[in-house]
Chains A and B, each alone.
Chain A
Amino acid sequence: MKGPDVTWYLCVSAFLFCTGALGVLIRRSPLIVLLSLEIMLNGANLALIAFSRHYGQGDGQIFALAVMAVAASEVVVGLGLIVAIARRRLDLDVDKLSTLRG
């Protein structure tokens, strides 16, 4: 395998996941929370594909494609919720959307 070995890809993947988790935790706009979720999913995808290459088996790539489909579904539902929230003229702020809090 030319170039860096799997360890380097895993470090990039870990950094991406932590960046996404940080965005989910500290940002209040649901749009940016969704974008950060995409970064987390892509960090996981990079690890899957790196291990797929390392072991020479294609199953990791299949799983990465499934994750991609899940991410697309998540974006559809999330953006639908955001548009529904905006149509009711509520604030786009995850801290203020506390109607369902027990």
Chain B
Amino acid sequence: MIVASAANVLVWMVWVAAAFACLGTGVAVVSFSNPFYSALSLIGNLASLAVMYLLLSAEFVAAAQVLVYAGAVMVMFLFVIAYLGGRADAPWHGAPNWQTVGAVAASAAIFVEVVVVIGLKTGGRLSNSADIESSFGRPYEIGRLFLTDQLLTFEITSIVLLVAAVGGVILGSHSRDAPIAETEQ
């Protein structure tokens, strides 16, 4: 029992560290005025989320998160930010206006509502998680689900990716003869 509770304490400590890293970097992404620092904070956010996925025994999703998100997607972001240079800066404008105050109030209201609903309505129902087999979250199990029960999801995902690739090529091609508006500053 002592060994079991020590492992429990260790998991709690890792969870608290990952959760605070996650929340802190999330706030940092929104508040930095230099998008380069925002993108770097988002990489930290994605990495701490991957730690939480590991605690939830979703090993394959954690690996995909680090490879696809923190690797590929964020490199694309950093590339575009470097391409734009100083034009990408996003300074805060003066004193907070009523729109900002309203947005903060609305977000805080949604958060409080969600937490209250989780606390009141679920009660103790979420405290006893199902027992899982050792194959849960492993690549074998994910692949089996993708090719049997969730085949439609798999196909739709591939179509979405194809459409996005075509859209990216069209948006990035120079051959459009739309006028480059020099005067439309």
Contact = CB atoms under 8 A, between A and B. Distances in A.
B9 to A, nearest CB: 9
A29 B88 contact: yes
Contact of A7 (B23, B30, B89, B122): B122
Interface size class of B (residues with CB under 8 A): 35 or more
On chain A, which size bracket covers the interface?
35 or more
A88 to B, nearest CB: 5
Given A36-B30, A69-B160, A75-B73, A7 B145 contact: no
Interface in A41-77: 42, 45-46, 49-50, 52-59, 61-66, 68-77
Contact of A77 (B42, B69, B104, B164): B164
A18 B181 contact: no
B30 to A, nearest CB: 4
Interface in B73-111: 73, 76-77, 80-81, 83-84, 87-90, 93, 99-100, 103-104, 106-108, 110-111
Contact of A19 (B14, B27, B80, B142): B27
B127 A5 contact: yes
B4 to A, nearest CB: 8
A58 B35 contact: no
Contact of B12 (A3, A6, A31): A3
A10 B118 contact: yes
Contacts of A53: 56-58, 129, 132, 136
B55 A3 contact: yes
A46 to B, nearest CB: 6
Contact of B26 (A9, A16, A29, A49): A16
B153 A32 contact: no
Among A20, A22, A57, A90, which residue has the most Cβ atoms of chain B within 10 A?
A22
A65 B130 contact: no
A34 B78 CA distance: 13
Given A39-B29, A61-B61, 10 more contacts: A10-B118, A21-B106, A25-B106, A34-B77, A45-B61, A64-B58, A65-B61, A65-B157, A72-B164, A88-B184
Q: Which 6 A-B pairs have the closest CB atoms?
A: A29-B90, A56-B130, A73-B164, A80-B171, A3-B11, A25-B103
Interface of B: 7-8, 11-12, 14-15, 19, 22-23, 26-27, 29-30, 32, 35, 38-39, 42, 45-46, 49, 52-53, 55-58, 60-61, 64-65, 68-69, 72-73, 76-77, 80-81, 83-84, 87-90, 93, 99-100, 103-104, 106-108, 110-111, 114-115, 118-119, 122, 126-127, 129-132, 136-137, 141-142, 145-146, 149-150, 153, 156-157, 160-161, 163-165, 167-168, 171-172, 180-182, 184-185
